[in-house]
Structure 1
Amino acid sequence: MATPPPTPPIGRLKINVDGSFRSESADGGIGVVVRNEFGTCIASMAHYFPHVLSTTHMEAEAFRAGILLAIREGWDAFDLESDCSLVVSVLQQNMEDRSDIGCILDDCKSYLTSFHSFQIRHVFRKANGVAHHLAHLASLNYLDNI
């Protein structure tokens, strides 16, 4: 897998998402960071979730939050990146997911049909660091709705 460039091409945005799960308390958080072609952060989000199912649940919620942010802001061309290869793979396929997070992934797929140009890509955690830290802090309930 080739490492994606740190910034998106001109006219596109890069949306990095990540989820965090704390098994001892069954809560979690998500982090989203959006950068323009200059690498400037133009938006970020962190949100705490009580009563979480799993790490994958939080990863899927992070994708949904990133996509909904793009819809709300009217962004039409973006690269959506995560270090969760499982969710990336599911969203790249046109198959029904019957897992306990299938409805979240179905929402994501449905929302994505409204965009003109997007790519979903797996990246290593090092390339997803800011979203990872936001998700971790949100899972501790230190950050919410930033």
Structure 2
Amino acid sequence: MVIRNEEGLVLASCAKKIPVAYSGCEIETMAAAAALSFASDIGIKRVILEGDSLAVIKALRVDVSSLSPIGLLIDDVKSLANNFDELSYSHTKREGNQVAHGLAKCAKSILNLVVWMEDVLS
């Protein structure tokens, strides 16, 4: 995950290894929950959550519970939305966010979790 400010500068990023085999949608949804939790923990109040899974972004945008296999994970992400003053969802193709894609590749070689943060968040 990558947290950027209004100018697009990276404020914080995180890579986490997921040791069990999950589907792409499950991983994207777990990453969305982790990103919102991380953003909330560091005091971010206005968020645009970007993801490269159109199915996950569409599921997050609707106000009904999902009966899909990832429905409970989607509900977890939606419950985290209450921590923010503003939250919107944006679909971005993988090619559109090379930093996040690079972090996902990096996660394969770490033991558990790596976090990078700037000294001062604005």
User: Is TM (by shorter chain) over 0.5?
Assistant: yes
TM-score (norm 2): 0.84
**How far does the alpha carbon of each residue in 1:121-146 deviate from its partner, in whole angstroms, 9 at most, with x for none?**
111222221111111221x2347323
User: 2:105, 2:69 → 1: CA distance?
Assistant: 22
User: 2:83, 2:13 → 1: CA distance?
Assistant: 22
2:91 is aligned, of 111, 116, 122, to 122
Q: Does 1:90 align with 2:59?
A: yes
- Name the structure with the higher helix share: 2
Secondary structure of the structure 2 residue equivalent to 1:145 = strand
Aligned alpha-carbon RMSD (Å):
1.5
2:71 is aligned, of 102, 121, 130, to 102
Note if contact 1:33-1:131 (Cα within 8 Å) is conserved in structure 2: yes
Percent of aligned positions that are identical: 33
Corresponding residue of 1:9:
none
Q: Does 1:141 align with 2:109?
A: yes
Alignment of 1:1-146 (within 5 A): 32-138=1-107, 140-142=108-110, 144-146=113-115
Question: Higher relative contact order at CA 8 Å, sep ≥6: structure 1 or structure 2?
Answer: 2
Aligned-pair CA distance for 1:46? 0.3
Aligned residues: 114
